[in-house]
Amino acid sequence: MKLSIRGKIILVCGLMPSAMALILGLGVWQLSAGNDRLEAVVDVHAPSARIAARTTHTGRLRRELTGVERGVGLDLSSGPDDEHLFQRSKEPS
């Protein structure tokens, strides 16, 4: 097809705005998808990470109290029925 210069200019000037509109639509669609992923991170993954961090922190505190690494510390496995821990010794003063 033979187009004159004027036809070619009109064709290019018509294709450029339509291509820009297509790219703009794709960009807005990608931003919307990114926003949805961000909401999923905030609503689902952040509380899960907070719970995991709290659990890790609790485990670390328990290890420090029980002295698992060093072999010393408080024995948290003893329950309230261990009366011998709370009785006074009957040694002479």
pLDDT digit string (tens) for 3-13?
899 999 999 99
Domain assignment of residue 75, yes or no: no
Domain assignment of residue 47, yes or no: yes
Q: What is the pLDDT of residue 42?
A: 82
Domain assignment of residue 63, yes or no: yes
Can you give the pTM of this predicted structure?
0.44
Domain assignment of residue 82, yes or no: no
77: three-class secondary structure by DSSP: coil
Domain assignment of residue 87, yes or no: no
Residues 13-42 have a mean pLDDT of 93
Residue 85 DSSP label: G
Domain assignment of residue 60, yes or no: yes
Domain assignment of residue 42, yes or no: yes
Q: Which two structure tokens, joined as six digits, stand for 82?
A: 């261990």
Q: How far apart are CA 27 and CA 31, in angstroms?
A: 6
pLDDT: which is higher, 63 or 13: 13
Distances (CA, A) of 73 to 2, 68, 82, 88: 92, 8, 17, 21
**How many domains is the chain partitioned into structurally?**
1
Tokens 């948290």: give the residue: 76
- Residue 37 buriedness (CB in 10 A; 0-12 / 13-18 / 19+): exposed
Query: Residue 15 is part of which domain span?
Result: 5-69
